[in-house]
Structure formats: structure tokens, C-alpha cells
Amino acid sequence: MNIRLKEEHSLRVCKEILQLGRSLDLNQNALRLAEIIALFHDIGRFEQFRTYGTFNDKVSENHATLGLKVLEETNILSRLTKTQRSIACKAIGYHNVRKLPDPADENPDCLLYSKLLRDADKLDIWRVVTTYYAQRHKHRNPALELELPDTPEYSLCFVEDILNNRISNSHNLKTYNDLKLLQLGWIFDINFTRTFHHIQQRQIIEKIITTLPDTEDIRKIQNHLKEYLEKTGNS
Ligand SMILES: [Fe+2]
């Protein structure tokens, strides 16, 4: 089930990245490279789940780096040009880092594809997790909860990060609620207007918020994110 989940996720990220790329008027070659990057971005997940039985990088290994090893061993990108291969590998390597390098420290094409991938990936992870919350009572999947305890608590550092428009550090995850807050905070790491529109249309914030405890903190977060989305999505 978890292998199929990542297989389907990868295919949907291809669709998301193509839509995003078309909205930016990328040419056919650029779109094809973006699609290849999306298709293989999580290739390390299969090896990871087979070896360790988890998607938690912290207790296994970094799935992006693992994916780069798989790509090298299988030589699957051999028909790309050297430049394309370098862009693909960097974008895949960067897809799960907390922050992309500064524009001064990395080449613009590499950053563009990395941004496309990160937006497309987040859009589909939000789809996966919000669908999961809605039917979790019927079928639990600990892998999607990173095996974190489902207790009413959440860590205040995640609340503070959101209220200060900061992306949280996954090393601080202690409960399943923390993971939901981390996923809400990804909004501060969105690169393209079109992605903001999708977040609004698909009501991502509302769908995640309803699964969190009804406290003053969470209500503050909801208002804060709503305002941020309206302001940023329309600018
Ligand atoms: Fe992914």
C-alpha cells in the first residue's frame, strides 16, 4: 500500500509540475525536464520503505540522497544532456531541504526547477494528507503519521513559527499535531502565485485546521494563515 502510495504520488506530482510549468509558459523541452524531475524525485522512497519500513528520514536515511544513488546506479538519466542531468540531480537533492540556497550561490535554472518541484510536491502531499485525515478513522497508516504519537498536545515552537511566517524544523517534531502544523507552515515556502490559488481553491488550510485541537493558538494560526494567503496570493 505504501509503495503504491508513493508511486501514485510521483505521477500526480508530474501533473502538478506540468500545470505549473505551463502557467509560466515554459517551452516543451523545459516541461519535459520538469516532468522527469517530478517522476524521479521520490525514487529513494521505494528503497527506503523496502529497507527500513518507514518514510521517516530521521530514523532511516535521507530519501533524496538515497534517490540520487538509485538514479546513478540505474543510469536512468543517461540520455539527458550533462546540464539537464546536473539540474535534475540538484533539484531532487534539494527537494526536501528546509531552505533552498541563496540565488547568489546556485544557478538560476537549477533554482527554478527546484522551486517548481517543491511547489508541485507540496501540493500533492497536501492532497494526500487531507484525503487521509478524512478517512483515517477507517484505515490508519502509521507511515503517513511518521509513527508520531496522536495525543492532544502540540509543541509551541511550531505555533510561534507560523505566527512569525517561519518554516519549522522537522527535527522538533514530537506529536502528530506537530506534523500537521509543520505541513501548514509550508505555505511560507511557496514560490508561485498559481500554487497559492490551488491552496485556496482546495481549502488546504481549513482541512488541516479542522483536524487540530480547538484552542486559542490554533484559531490564531487559522486567521494568520488566511490573511497571509489572501495578501500573498493576490500580489
Ligand atoms: Fe514527493
Q: How far does the centroid of ligand 1 lie from the alpha carbon of residue 9, in Å?
A: 7
Q: 0.85 cut: is pTM over it?
A: yes
pLDDT for res 234: 72
Q: So what's the architecture of 1-140 in CATH?
A: Orthogonal Bundle (1.10)
- Joined together, the cell numbers standing for residue 147 give 509513527
In terms of DSSP H, where are the helices of the chain? 2-23, 28-40, 44-52, 63-74, 82-94, 108-135, 156-163, 176-185, 193-201, 204-209, 216-233
Using pLDDT thresholds of 50, 70 and 90, give the confidence band for residue 163: very high
Instruction: Please give all residues whose CB falls under 5 A of ion ligand 1, grouped by chain where several chains appear.
Output: 42, 121
Between the CA of 42 and the centroid of ligand 1 the distance, in Å, is 5
Query: How does pLDDT run across 73-124, given as a tens digit for each residue?
Result: 999 999 999 999 999 999 999 999 999 999 999 999 999 999 999 999 999 9
pLDDT over 70 at 235, yes or no: no
Compute the distance from residue 216 Cα to the ligand 1 centre, in Å: 32
Q: What is the pLDDT of residues 32-49, one digit of tens each?
A: 999 999 999 999 999 999
Give the Å distance between the CA of 47 and the centre of ligand 1: 14
* pLDDT tens-digit map of 193-212: 999 999 999 999 999 999 99
Q: How far is 181 from 224, CA to CA, in rounded Å?
A: 13
Task: Please give the pLDDT value at position 232.
Answer: 87
Taking the C-alpha atoms of residue 137 and residue 24, their distance in angstroms, rounded to an integer, is: 40
Domain boundaries, the chain: 1-140, 148-235
Ligand 1 centroid to residue 172 C-alpha, Å: 21
